[in-house]
Structure 1
Amino acid sequence: MQTEPSFSRPKSQPLAEETLTKALKRIANAVFITDKAGHIVWVNDAFSRLSGYTEAEVIGSSPTILNSGKQSHMFYSDLWHTILLGKTWRGIVVDRRKDGMLYTADEIITPLVDDEGNITHFIAIQHDITPRSQEHERESFLAYHDVLTGLSNREYFLSKQQQAMYQASRNHQMVGLLFLDLDRFKLINDTLGHTVGDALLVAVAERLRSAVRKDDVVARFGGDEFAILVSEIHDIQVVLTLARKLLEVLSHQFVLGGHTIHTYASIGIAIYPNGSDDPEALLAQADQAMYQAKKDGGNRFQLYAPVASEMH
């Protein structure tokens, strides 16, 4: 009876330190090793390509040379606490290259120990995920912003409006909502073309952005409709003063594509808690007031006032 042939597996040879070093030197991911005190003692070629620093420039330095300021002190405190306990740390970091550009990396830091189990070094491996991070940021931006003007879109505006109204209710404050529509925009668009019309919308967005406070939210709802959210106020005059300012900045001519354009705006204003406590309904009230301003000739603002039927 024939038996199965037996094969003996050759004994594996331990990996020579020189071979290991060469392998780390050539791998695609950036690798750097520090001593226990955090001084860089070794880097591979990929680290130099990613960071822009040569080996000679970083040996003896701290990894803080890569610090972008995007991570908090607590972030690094937790990182060091983990690795000093002998545990592996993993996280996403935003670091700064030698040329000042930022890059995003998926980083793993592993403690290296001697025969007695004492930590002697730390080895950090960085996988560059900058393209993926940038694409994610772009998708997030497009989800909440108007593509043409870069302003917030309706969805983002309503979420911020709801937050502002909630805070106002708790802190006994007011929220102002301004709904703005350009006068004569359809005529300009039809006469000069959509390219000039789009350029006008971008220019209007810039003027609106420059006229409001830092924390106010400016959004484009589509077409030539814009909305401004003014939160944390105690006096309605703040909103009325802003409305006058917006009319004034938009009254100055625009020079676009060789054309001198004059346009104005009609603005409707609704105030919480004077109006509805529902974000969509408050927005509708501001819209209604805007149409009244346009009906009265445009280039003016109108404060929403409930009709008699709404007061019962």
Structure 2
Amino acid sequence: MLPPPSPPSQQGAPQASVEARSAGDPSAQAPAAVPATARRLLSAFRRLLIGSQRRLPLVVLVLGLGLTAAVAEQTRRLGQQSHEQIERALLDDVADAIEMKLKEVIDTINGVAGLFNASAEVDRREFSTYYETLRREENSLAGIQGIGFSRFLTAAQWPSQTAALRAEGFDDFTIRPPGPRPYGSAIVYLEPFDLRNQRAFGFDMYSEPVRRRAMDRAAQTGRASLSGQVQLVQEGTIDVQPGVLIYLPVCRQGTRTPPRSASQYSTTLQGWAYAPIRVGDLVQAALRTINNPVLAGSTVRVYDGDTVASSDLIFDNTRQQNRPSLGHAQYQPITVAGRRWRIGIQLSDQLIGPGGWSGQVLLVLVLGSMGTVIASLATAMLITNHLRTREALAIAEKANQERALAATVFEASPEAIVVTDSQGRVLSANQSFARITGYAGAEILGRSLNLLKSGRHEGDFYARLWEDARERGFWQGEIWNRLRSGEIRRHELSVTAVHDSALQISHFVGMLQDITDRHHAQELVRYRALHDELTGLPGRAMLQEKLNVALAVAERQGGHVGLLFLDLNGFKPVNDQYGHAIGDRVLRLVAQRLRAATHSEDLVARLGGDEFVILVPRAIGLEELQAFAQKIQAVIRLCSSEFDLPIAISASIGIALSPQHGISSGQLLDAADQAMYRSKQDDSHGITIARQVPTTLAAPGDDSQPGS
């Protein structure tokens, strides 16, 4: 508003006075120029301030992400150091345990050598009694195959030694491999004298180069000697492991100087006390003594020598000997009894990755990035709100225009909008509401929206809808509504509560959109994703889903799940000779006949090409499945008669039954698939049952494990 005008008598003098001062004093113009300059400077400052405020969220975002990256990198480095320290500590534990176990073996055969050194002659009963004493001591023989004594022999001593052993009752005793050789040995004592160790009784270890080098080193140094990698004579065909032997010389009484060559053995050496060792058993015994939780899941490898070549690998707890080297392992050598082993350790990646990457680093990155984004967004919101507040007066001036625009939007909105009172009675509805529901605004004024109930929802659905809208102020979801015409359509509905100045609900605003066509399209997409387009049968994804459910139910109830894996014989010639149109007709006919031949709870799926799978979720046993497979074969053979063409269609079928042939969907499918291929390779193209696999050893896709 402008101020009220002044009386005429008071206007003239001041005006004249101002004009006079302006004309007489040039400096009088300065006060008028100063406010104009100040206003320009103030306006520029305001624009600069607003521009800086708008850039502040970007500054917060850049600084926050940089700080997050720095913290994550520091966490990664600490994780890498921790990984290396943990791996090194475990490597020390494993190396110490293996070295300690080997030294325990040396101590044991030192006792054997002492037994021979303390007596002029040790007979078999004394040796067996000594072994029994050791066996009763806890862990004294853990990890080794036994203890024994091998006598050194010259060629002249072979007959007498053979005769002596046969005189003891070993009528079939012979020294193996047969001679003659100038020098040799014979295992004459070996405990426990079980079936496995009896294979080595009489064996001439000195005839084999690897063993001979260790025996010579022991005899010529007077100390324990560890051999290189060999296959023990005791080994059979199951669980074959690399072997080593530890030797200790047993000298004749009075011998003061170790012999320098084999030619001196006959006068100084009785033979060797020794222990045959299966490396896997020994290392596993050593690992059991380690109290380190990170050992579980870690890879432990032992190499004979200084290299990590696959040919020198003598132990791998993961049994993945085909991997020539580990990806990020640490190694440590140990030297025992004149032999060098290299121990390798690699931690499980589930702990901390070798580069320090772990869940903690990812958590820092995720939380830091989220926090930065949230802070940046919050800053942007605060600045936006601040700027909006400054614009509130301008907005208020346009309030009437906006209200008019809102009314226009209300009526022109493509979404149905309805306003009710706090009790749900309609107060207003736009034209889109009438178009979508068929009810005009005047027709439903004062009425409840219950008239749209379709009957497809549960009894408490609408009560929960209104309860959520009242308690939370908002509800959104999808709903089935009955239109005025009686047609039922699917709508997307949002209900918002409007509060008055006393924070009490005064109105509800509902927004409605017809999504029936979109819903049908989504259902169609889902159907096509789970079904074969040609035959309409379920595809691999649905088969996998139903198979997992059936296996879970069978496991809870102690039942069985059966699979029939079918491959059509003679289908490819049909495609090649008569074209894909006939081939497609054959596939559709087979699918139709398979559905007709199965029970309602069974599932027939097509995996692609001419492969089909029948899931029997409540299978009784293999005999029932075999009979069912024979029925399926007959049904498929009959399909050939439906065509006026000389075609012959049959099926090769593989049968698998849980849990005999697998306990997971992958195991069961692979077992049935392999059985089908074996059946297809036979000339009969018949029915083949999968090989039985122990569930504790089963691996997906493998139906040829031991026990099959």
TM-score range, shorter chain: 0.7 to 0.9
Partner of 2:660: 274
CA distance in 2 between counterparts of 1:74 and 1:232 reads 36
Partner of 2:597: 211
Higher relative contact order (CA 8 A, sep 6+): 1
Pairwise CA distance, 1:175:
0.5
Note if contact 1:200-1:256 (Cα within 8 Å) is conserved in structure 2: no
Matching of residue 85 in structure 1 with residue 492 in structure 2: no
Distance of aligned partners of 1:283 and 1:86 in 2 relative to their CA distance in 1, 3 Å threshold: closer
Pairwise CA distance, 1:177:
0.6
CA distance in 1 between counterparts of 2:642 and 2:450 reads 49
Note if contact 1:199-1:256 (Cα within 8 Å) is conserved in structure 2: no
Distance of aligned partners of 1:93 and 1:242 in 2 relative to their CA distance in 1, 3 Å threshold: farther
Matches within 5 A, 1:166-245: 166-236=552-622, 239-240=625-626, 242-245=628-631
Pairwise CA distance, 1:75:
4.6
Residues 90-129 of structure 1, C-alpha deviations (whole Å, 9 max, x = no match): 2234545546464352x21012445654435422102445
Show structure 1 runs of 5+ residues with no match: none
Matches within 5 A, 1:283-294: 283-294=669-680
Matching of residue 297 in structure 1 with residue 684 in structure 2: yes
Give the secondary-structure state (helix, strand or coil) at the position aligned to 1:152. Answer: coil
Pairwise CA distance, 1:131:
5.6
CA distance in 2 between counterparts of 1:90 and 1:277 reads 43
CA distance in 2 between counterparts of 1:255 and 1:53 reads 59
RMSD over equivalenced CA pairs, Å: 4.0
- AA aligned to 1:62 is L
Residues 129-180 of structure 1, C-alpha deviations (whole Å, 9 max, x = no match): 5565555445544444333333332244234323422332232110001111
Note if contact 1:86-1:119 (Cα within 8 Å) is conserved in structure 2: no
Residues 234-272 of structure 1, C-alpha deviations (whole Å, 9 max, x = no match): 445554454344345434447989879763333221111
CA distance in 2 between counterparts of 1:116 and 1:238 reads 74
Report the number of matched residues: 308
Pairwise CA distance, 1:226:
0.7
Partner of 2:449: 62
Note if contact 2:489-2:514 (Cα within 8 Å) is conserved in structure 1: no
Pairwise CA distance, 1:51:
3.6
- AA aligned to 1:49 is R
Matches within 5 A, 1:106-185: 107-113=493-499, 116-130=502-516, 133-134=519-520, 136-185=522-571
- AA aligned to 2:449 is S
Residues 50-92 of structure 1, C-alpha deviations (whole Å, 9 max, x = no match): 34555577663534625372x5455544322112336111223
Partner of 2:649: 263
TM-score normalised per structure 2: 0.37
Give the secondary-structure state (helix, strand or coil) at the position aligned to 1:213. Answer: coil
CA distance in 2 between counterparts of 1:284 and 1:301 reads 16
Distance of aligned partners of 1:52 and 1:208 in 2 relative to their CA distance in 1, 3 Å threshold: farther
Could you tell me the percent identity over the aligned residues? Answer: 32
CA distance in 1 between counterparts of 2:704 and 2:511 reads 70
Distance of aligned partners of 1:281 and 1:259 in 2 relative to their CA distance in 1, 3 Å threshold: same
Give the secondary-structure state (helix, strand or coil) at the position aligned to 1:85. Answer: helix
CA distance in 2 between counterparts of 1:266 and 1:122 reads 65
Residues 175-213 of structure 1, C-alpha deviations (whole Å, 9 max, x = no match): 001111223211222222112212332332233334333
Q: Which of 37, 43, 54 pairs up with 2:429?
A: 43
- AA aligned to 1:189 is N
Which stretch shifts more, 112-121 or 24-33?
Answer: 112-121
Matching of residue 11 in structure 1 with residue 407 in structure 2: no
Distance of aligned partners of 1:116 and 1:285 in 2 relative to their CA distance in 1, 3 Å threshold: closer
Partner of 2:318: none
More helix by percentage: 2
CA distance in 1 between counterparts of 2:444 and 2:642 reads 51
Which stretch shifts more, 234-243 or 144-153?
Answer: 234-243
Partner of 2:707: 311
CA distance in 2 between counterparts of 1:54 and 1:187 reads 65
CA distance in 2 between counterparts of 1:226 and 1:258 reads 24
Distance of aligned partners of 1:92 and 1:205 in 2 relative to their CA distance in 1, 3 Å threshold: same
Show structure 2 runs of 5+ residues with no match: 1-32, 44-392, 693-702
Note if contact 1:52-1:99 (Cα within 8 Å) is conserved in structure 2: no
Distance of aligned partners of 1:204 and 1:253 in 2 relative to their CA distance in 1, 3 Å threshold: closer
Note if contact 2:411-2:431 (Cα within 8 Å) is conserved in structure 1: yes
- AA aligned to 1:122 is F
Note if contact 2:621-2:657 (Cα within 8 Å) is conserved in structure 1: no
- AA aligned to 1:311 is G
CA distance in 2 between counterparts of 1:167 and 1:234 reads 14
Note if contact 2:491-2:512 (Cα within 8 Å) is conserved in structure 1: no
CA distance in 1 between counterparts of 2:647 and 2:438 reads 48
- AA aligned to 1:27 is S
Note if contact 1:28-1:46 (Cα within 8 Å) is conserved in structure 2: yes
Distance of aligned partners of 1:110 and 1:289 in 2 relative to their CA distance in 1, 3 Å threshold: same
Which stretch shifts more, 281-290 or 250-259?
Answer: 250-259
Note if contact 1:144-1:153 (Cα within 8 Å) is conserved in structure 2: yes
Distance of aligned partners of 1:17 and 1:213 in 2 relative to their CA distance in 1, 3 Å threshold: farther
